[in-house]
A and B are shown apart, each in its own frame.
Chain A
Amino acid sequence: GAVVSQHPSWVICKSGTSVKIECRSLDFQATTMFWYRQFPKQSLMLMATSNEGSKATYEQGVEKDKFLINHASLTLSTLTVTSAHPEDSSFYICSASPLAGVTDTQYFGPGTRLTVL
């Protein structure tokens, strides 16, 4: 089956530093990748959608200059949280779709737990 990996699985950083999270599709090419954020006891919220080779589309209320998304290849997307603050502490999950924009074939990664001190 289609496998999506994320690295790191957890990270702790100091306030003000930047953190990069990688999302890889291991056995398929992902035309579209999605980044979600999940706060404790809250639902997954879509942050942005990225298509390989083009700029990401951010959801309303998500700062594109703070959450930098790069989807430079068909198997790798990265999310960089710049100048992280404690309120950015959350569970970040990516998903990948092998077909352009067809979300019923999204395959989810295991998530990355970010803690900002």
Chain B
Amino acid sequence: KQEVTQIPAALSVPEGENLVLNCSFTDSAIYNLQWFRQDPGKGLTSLLLIQSSQREQTSGRLNASLDKSSGRSTLYIAASQPGDSATYLCAVRAGRLQGGSEKLVFGKGTKLTVNP
């Protein structure tokens, strides 16, 4: 059974700092890994998607890496801003349901607070 763990559970940093969020998964046989952002009481916004054949993806100040063999991914946020404050979720696409769809397995998230 695939399990996803995110460390730390919470992180508080001053504005402008670079930071790294960690995600690990137990079954390396994944199809892809995705990082999401969730604001309080809101749905999810997809940030970055890394296919299993890729090692990293970049979007603006965000960079996500994937080491499939070791079951790890990191999300690097450069020059953090107060608007980056949210919960960041890591999810892996694992297995196949009947009909060929694959479900997402989520970690519990890292709650990030960027202080002005």
A-side residues, CB < 8 A to B, are: 4, 6, 32, 34, 41-46, 49, 51, 57, 59, 91, 93, 95, 97, 100-104, 106, 108-111, 113
Contact = CB atoms under 8 A, between A and B. Distances in A.
Contacts of B31: 104
Give 5 closest A-B pairs by Cβ, nearest first: A101-B101, A108-B43, A108-B44, A43-B106, A110-B43
Contacts of A57: 97-99
A93 B104 CA distance: 13
Interface of B: 4, 9, 31-32, 34, 36, 41-46, 49, 89, 91, 93, 97-109
Given A43-B89, A111-B43, 6 more contacts: A32-B101, A49-B97, A59-B103, A101-B100, A101-B102, A103-B101
Contacts, number: 68
Contacts of B41: 91, 111, 113
B108 A49 contact: no
Nearest to A46: B103
B44 A49 contact: no
B44 A93 contact: yes
B42 A111 contact: yes
Contacts of A100: 99-101
A97 B100 CA distance: 13
A44 B43 contact: no
A110 B100 contact: no
Contacts of A6: 43
B109 A43 contact: yes
Contacts of B46: 106
A102 B106 CA distance: 16
A44 B89 contact: yes
Residue picked from A4, A106, A113, most chain B C-beta under 10 Å:
A106
A110 B42 contact: yes
Contacts of B89: 43-44
Contacts of A101: 97, 99-102
Nearest to A99: B101
Contacts of B43: 4, 6, 93, 108-111
24 contacts: A32-B101, A41-B108, A42-B108, A43-B89, A43-B106, A43-B107, A44-B89, A44-B104, A45-B106, A51-B99, A93-B43, A95-B44, A101-B99, A101-B101, A101-B102, A102-B101, A102-B102, A103-B104, A104-B31, A104-B32, A104-B93, A108-B44, A108-B45, A111-B41
